[in-house]
Chain A
C-alpha cells in the first residue's frame, strides 16, 4: 500500500462522512410532515410537525365540546375529548404520512400528509 492509497482511503472515508451529513439534513427535510386538523370537514389548522420544537397543546372546538390536541416534534395526538368512547385518545400518537385520528362524536379529524415525496415503505 502506497502513501497515495492511504490518502485516497481517507478521502473516501471523509466523503462518506460528508455524504452522511448531507443526507441527514436532506432526509429530515424529505420527511417533513404536515398535520391537518379538520372540524366538521373544514380545515381549521395545519401544522408542519417537523418544525415543531416544543410540545404544545391545541384547543379545538368540536361539535360536542373542546378537544385538546398535543403536538410534539414530528408527532401528534389527542389528549382530551368530550366524546364518550375515547377512541381518538386511545389511538395515541400518529407520526407517519397517511395516518389519521378520527373522533366521530366530536367531528374532529387529524390527518398527516407528507408535503413531498419521501421514501415510501417499498423503497425502505
Chain B
C-alpha cells in the first residue's frame, strides 16, 4: 500500500493531469461539428484513479478535474460546465460500479460503458437546458463516437496502469 502522503501527492498529480487534459481537449477542433464529440482524454485519468485507488478517489478526482479545468478554460458555471460535470459524475459512478461488481469486464469494456454513459448523460442534461426533443437526434452519432473513444481511452488507461504498477513495485511503496 501507498503511504498517506505519497497517495495524496499522487492524487494531486492525477487531478493536475486530468485538468490539463480537460482544457487541452477543448482546444482540439471538433472533427464532426457535432456538439459534445470529444476525445475523452480526461477519462483516462478517471479510469486510472478507479483502477489504482477506488470509488472515492475516482469521484473526487473527476469532480476536481471538472471544477479546475472549467476554471482554467473559462467555462465555469456555463452550459458546457454543467454538461461536463454531469457527464463526469455519472460516468465515473457507473465505471466504479462496473469495476467493483462486474468482474468479467476488462478495463476497456468499463471505459466504453463510461464513454457511452458520459454522452447519454450529457444529452439528457442538454435536453433540460435547451428543452428541444430534437437534440436526441444526436444520440446515435454520440453512441457511435463513444465506441472508438471508449476503446482508445481504455487501452491508454490499461497501459499506463500496468506501467505505474511496475514502477510502484520498484519503488516499494
**B28: Cβ under 8 A from any A Cβ:** no
Interface core residue of A2, A13, A17 (most chain B CB under 10 Å): A2
Provide the bound-state CA to CA distance between A86 and B108, in Å: 64
Q: Is B99 close to A, CB under 8 A?
A: no
Q: How far is the CA of A26 from the CA of B109 in the complex (A)?
A: 30
Assembled-state Cα–Cα distance A118/B130 (Å): 13
- B138 CB, min distance to chain A CBs, angstroms: 9
Contact A8 B109 (CB under 8 A): yes
**A20 adjacent to chain B (CB < 8 Å):** yes
Confirm or deny: A55 has a beta carbon within 8 angstroms of a beta carbon on chain B: no
Query: Is there a chain B Cβ closer than 8 Å to A5's Cβ?
Result: yes
B75 to chain A, nearest CB (A): 19
Q: Which residues of A contact B108 (CB under 8 A)?
A: 1, 5
User: Number of A residues contacting the other chain (C-beta, 8 Å)?
Assistant: 22
Contact of B137 among A5, A9, A17, A27 (CB under 8 A): A27
> Could you mark each residue 1-44 of chain A with 1 if its beta carbon is under 8 Å from any beta carbon of chain B, else 0?
11111001100110111011001001100100000000000000
Give Cα distance in the complex from A100 to B161, angstroms.
61
Q: Tell me whether A9 and B105 are in contact (CB under 8 A).
A: no
Contact-size category for B: 20 to 34
Contact flag A4-B109 (CB < 8 Å), given A9-B147, A12-B116, A119-B134: yes
Q: Is there contact, CB below 8 Å, between B134 and A5?
A: no
Complex CA gap A5/B105 in Å reads 6
CB <8 Å contact, B105 and A4: yes
Q: Say whether, besides A17-B140, A23-B139, A117 and B147 are in contact (CB < 8 Å).
A: no
Find out whether the CB atom of B109 lies under 8 angstroms from the CB atom of A2.
yes
Q: Is B104 an interface residue (CB 8 A)?
A: yes
Beta-carbon contact of A13 and B147 below 8 Å: yes
> B143 is contacted by which of A2, A16, A27 (Cβ under 8 Å)?
A16
Question: Is B10 an interface position by the 8 A CB rule?
Answer: no
Pick from B106, B133, B140: contact of A5, CB under 8 Å: B106
Interface pair A118/B151, CB less than 8 Å apart: no
Instruction: Assess the A119–B109 pair: CB atoms within 8 A.
Output: no
Give bound CA distance, A36 to B129, whole Å.
Answer: 33
Q: Which residue of B is nearest A19, CB measured?
A: B140
* Residue in A12, A17, A20, A23 whose CB lies within 8 Å of B112: A12
Show the binding face of A for B, using Cβ within 8 Å.
1-5, 8-9, 12-13, 15-17, 19-20, 23, 26-27, 30, 117-119, 123
Interface, chain B (partner A; CB < 8 A): 102, 104-106, 108-109, 112-113, 116, 130, 132-137, 139-140, 143-144, 146-147, 150-151
- What are 12 inter-chain pairs, A to B, with CB distance below 8 A? A1-B108, A2-B105, A4-B109, A8-B105, A13-B147, A16-B143, A23-B136, A26-B136, A27-B137, A119-B132, A119-B137, A123-B134
